[in-house]
């Protein structure tokens, strides 16, 4: 199975900060990487697909990038509504595997 190692597991940041979350894949997954946002009591929401593509309706302050086997989700200027848990997911093969999640909190 492909392991997705996500870091950090939690972080605190201030409004307006630039925030970056990273996932590393244990095998080549190409660009088969998505990012999800989950708020308490809610279903996950896909933010990024294909490593770099912004999902419909997602604010442009969110972006995804890839460097080798490292994938990043960046929020260019943090807003209060961005406080949530973020997960990465590889979808190149079954079983699909998620990263462990990053809890983003307000400093």
Partner 1 sequence: EVQLVESGGGLVQPGRSLKLSCAASGFTYSNYVMAWVRQAPTKGLEWVASISTGGGNTYYRDSVKGRFTISRDNAKNTLYLQIDSLRSEDTATYYCAINTLDYWGQGVMVTVSS
Applying CB under 8 A, which residues contact partner 1?
A: 1, 34, 36, 38, 43-46, 49, 55, 87, 89, 91, 94-101
Nearest-angstrom CA–CA distance, 73 and 79: 15
Closer residue to partner 1, CB minimum distance, 11 or 98: 98
Place of tokens 């392991």: 3
Return the residue matching tokens 């933010």: 47
Q: How far is the CB of 94 from partner 1 (least distance, A)?
A: 4
Nearer to partner 1, 17 or 83 (CB): 83
Closest separation between CB of residue 90 and partner 1, Å? 10
Report d(CA 71, CA 67) in Å as an integer: 6
């Amino acid at each position: 199975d492909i392991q997705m190692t996500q870091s950090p597991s939690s972080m605190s940041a201030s409004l307006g900060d630039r925030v970056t979350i990273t996932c590393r894949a244990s095998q080549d997954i190409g660009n088969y990487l998505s990012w999800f946002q989950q708020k308490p009591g809610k279903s996950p929401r896909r933010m990024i697909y294909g490593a770099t593509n912004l999902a419909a309706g997602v604010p442009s302050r969110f972006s995804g990038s890839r460097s080798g086997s490292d994938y990043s989700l960046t929020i260019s200027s943090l807003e209060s509504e961005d406080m949530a848990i973020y997960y990465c997911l590889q979808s190149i093969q079954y079983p699909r595997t998620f990263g462990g999640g990053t809890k983003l909190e307000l400093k």
